[in-house]
Amino acid sequence: MKTAVISGASSGIGEACARLLAEFGWEVFLVARRRDRLDEIASEINGHAIDLDVTKASVEDFKCVRTCDLLVNCAGGAFGVDVVEEADVDDWVKMYNVNVLGTLRLTQIFLPRLIESQGCVINITSTAALGGYEGGAGYCAAKSAQRALTQSLRLEMKGEPVRITELLPGMVHTPEFSLNRLQGDADRASAVYKDVDRPLTAEDVAQVVLMVSNLPPHVNIDELVVRPVAQRAQHALFRGALNWHDSVHKPDSFLN
Ligand SMILES: NC(=O)C1=CN([C@@H]2O[C@H](COP(=O)(O)OP(=O)(O)OC[C@H]3O[C@@H](n4cnc5c(N)ncnc54)[C@H](OP(=O)(O)O)[C@@H]3O)[C@@H](O)[C@H]2O)C=CC1
Ligand SMILES: O=CCS(=O)(=O)O
């Protein structure tokens, strides 16, 4: 049985990855801070909960994980939408810590096990890593740094049988991302997705994670941008109905 360690597994994309990988027979270790959420999900998928703050994680925290075939660095997020002129330095520190240093710590901890297993690292950055946008400087900076970490790591791992992938999602409608970014303001958070016809779901991103991790060990996807059809570019978000021919979403995995 292959083993996956997924950070940010208590909600959203990380949770969906944990559920889908478990469905496809992986043993899953779920990492995040909220023990109650982790326990609930872990018990449903026969996985293992490890509650910790990735910005403080150490090797000792993961003694129970003997082998690792896949590390998904998904813990992260955005805090605030302030313009540079008024940015809150504490928000920037929080974003750098979780998105960049959290990824760094878990990667350092698991690299020996991943090399041993000819495994795969998937870092969930964002299309925010591809360029700045108004009110996004702190998040874009953190995701750009996480992207740079991923690119350097891939080069440094030349000569090692380990795959390093950066997955850059565009708009994904998850229950907590925008709420956290907008300090719990539910109206503003739901306005982010207003009239967007089928933003990505966490499950869509999980399908991509499963696809990447299922490729043969010599096949490295360096980077992969995944956006909803309604979002052709960061600033080209279409709000309104799209003329879909299938009125009902087909839930079949594209791997089937
Ligand atoms: N939603 C979107 O539109 C997009 C999201 N992304 C990225 O995808 C990732 C997941 O986002 P999404 O699922 O939407 O958002 P969520 O807010 O649902 O997920 C964030 C996860 O990270 C965990 N987390 C946050 N801080 C820490 C920490 N210090 N230590 C351990 N775990 C932590 C949270 O759990 P807990 O609070 O229990 O610790 C939670 O499980 C993030 O990196 C985000 O930047 C990328 C592109 C688009
Ligand atoms: O990573 C999230 C996508 S966005 O909010 O930066 O567009």
The answer, yes or no, to whether any atom of ligand 1 lies below 6 A from the CB of 14, is yes
Q: What is the arithmetic mean of pLDDT over 17-30?
A: 98
DSSP state of 98: I
The CATH architecture annotation of domain 3-237 reads 3-Layer(aba) Sandwich (3.40)
The ipTM, to two decimals, is 0.99
Dist. CA 90 → ligand 2 center (Å): 19
Confidence of residue 245 (pLDDT cuts 50, 70, 90): confident
Q: What angle do CA 8, 180, 166 make, to 5 degrees?
A: 40
* Residue 133 a catalytic site member: no
Q: What is the arithmetic mean of pLDDT over 142-157?
A: 99
Confidence of residue 251 (pLDDT cuts 50, 70, 90): low
- Predicted confidence at residue 256, as pLDDT, reads 47
The answer, yes or no, to whether any atom of ligand 1 lies below 6 A from the CB of 197, is no
Percent of the chain with pLDDT over 90: 95
pLDDT at 31 over 50: yes
pLDDT at 105 over 50: yes
Alpha helices, H only, the chain: 12-23, 35-45, 89-95, 102-117, 137-156, 177-181, 186-192, 202-214
Alpha-carbon distance of 155 to 164, in angstroms, equals: 9
Q: Convert the pLDDT of each residue in 35-67 to its tens digit.
A: 999 999 999 999 999 999 999 999 999 999 999
Dist. CA 207 → ligand 2 center (Å): 19
Catalytic residue, candidates 96, 133, 139, 193: 139
**Structural contact between residues 68 and 5, judged by C-beta atoms closer than 8 angstroms:** yes
Percent of the chain with pLDDT over 70: 96
State the pairing for strand pair 163-169/27-32.
unpaired
- Predicted confidence at residue 248, as pLDDT, reads 61
Kindly give, in sequence order, each residue whose CB lies less than 8 Å from that of residue 155, ignoring residues fewer than 6 positions away.
none
pLDDT at 4 over 50: yes
Helix axes 202-214, 12-23, angle to 10 degrees: 50
Q: 3-state class of 1 per DSSP?
A: coil
Alpha-carbon distance of 86 to 217, in angstroms, equals: 46
Confidence of residue 142 (pLDDT cuts 50, 70, 90): very high
